[in-house]
Amino acid sequence: MKTLRNTLPFFAATLLIAILFSNCGKEASPSAKRIQQGNTTIEINAIFPHFLQVRTNNVIDVPINLTVTFHLKDGEDKSVPVTFPAGYKHLVSWGGDNYVNTFDYQGHTDSTGNDSTPIVDGSWDVSSVEITAVSCPDKEYGFKVLTGADDWTFYKPTGPQTTVSFIVNKDTVSYADYDFNTDGCLYRSNLQAYAFTFFTYRVSFYSAPAIYPLRAGMTMDIPAMVYKKENSIYFGSQPDDADSASNGSTLQLTVTSVTDTHFDATFSGKLWSSRQADTLFISEGEIKNAVLPGKVDR
């Protein structure tokens, strides 16, 4: 009996501690499962000015699955599941070399044009939005949900830049930026011609009829070229001039290499500038690491 009396308080204390630990575990578990933790942290937030935008400070090759809760002014909450696609990259400058990766949802349509997004009702009177759950298949990644008052740890691109350089008469002109900031080169099916545009149209080349797609070694005539130096007017020809194909220009572009995503080229020749009524002699022209043109039916 003496042994039993001494044992009971110890047994009761042990049971109480076990219950307390059990309760703590049950309380923490749901919260931990809602925001995935991992060795590599991705910062993420969501805003709703006129449409839902999800932002991250990284680009990863797996999808990010979220629950975004809309807190309405009448006190009601609307939770919507959304997916940030695997490998999606739309970097927006936050000043200098700082970027965030942004993905937009408007109604049923997302940034990629897919009509598969759950309903985000534009008539909701939204007080605020909150990411209430976030996870991805790769458990290496964890997430830190930021509010509007938090500072970002920005994405800093490390890939090679697109460059365009040339000598015109005695003046050297060059441009460089990340490929996602260099606009879009296009092949226009209706004209069977290329429009190579770079750096917010600071330099553009417009080809005569040529084949698609680009192949290493192919050469094409460039009857129209437009470029702009820093804080200056545009130089070169008029892309929409009916006489541009027979204006005496001899500028040619030669594709030197092609990968699955990018191309290099050289260009040189004489260009008639209808903007300055002058002949421009272009030499040592080079395009490096430019994104391949997409094909459009116009």
Write out pLDDT tens, residues 50-73.
Answer: 788 999 999 999 999 999 999 999
Rg of the chain taking only CA atoms, in angstroms: 29
Residue pair 289/182 in contact (Cβ under 8 Å)? The answer is: no
Residue 124 half-sphere exposure toward CB, CA atoms < 13 A: 26
- CA 126 to chain centroid: 27
CA 132 to chain centroid, in Å, comes to 24
Q: Write down the pLDDT at residue 9.
A: 40
Bridge partners for 271 per DSSP: 280
pLDDT in tens, 113-152: 777 556 677 778 999 999 999 999 999 999 999 988 899 9
**Residue 50, helix vs strand vs coil:** coil
Residue 298 to residue 283: CA distance in whole angstroms: 32
Q: 272 pLDDT exceeds 50?
A: yes
Whether 266 and 159 have beta carbons less than 8 Å apart is answered as no
CA distance 290 to 160: 10
Helix (H, G, I), strand (E, B) or coil at 70: strand
pTM, whole model, 2 decimals? Answer: 0.69
Query: Where does the pLDDT of residue 11 fall: very low under 50, low under 70, confident under 90, or very high at 90 and above?
Result: very low
Of 85-89, 155-159, 291-295, the least confident: 155-159
Q: Does residue 277 or residue 287 have the better pLDDT?
A: 287
Q: Average pLDDT of the chain?
A: 83
Q: What does the pLDDT read at residue 6? A: 43
Contact 160, 259 (CB under 8 A): no
8 A C-beta contact, residue 36 and residue 141: yes
Structural domain boundaries in the chain: 40-145, 161-296
Q: What is the pLDDT of residue 39?
A: 95
Categorize the per-residue pLDDT at 1 as very low, low, confident or very high, splitting at 50, 70 and 90: very low
Number of Cβ within 10 Å of residue 278's Cβ equals 11
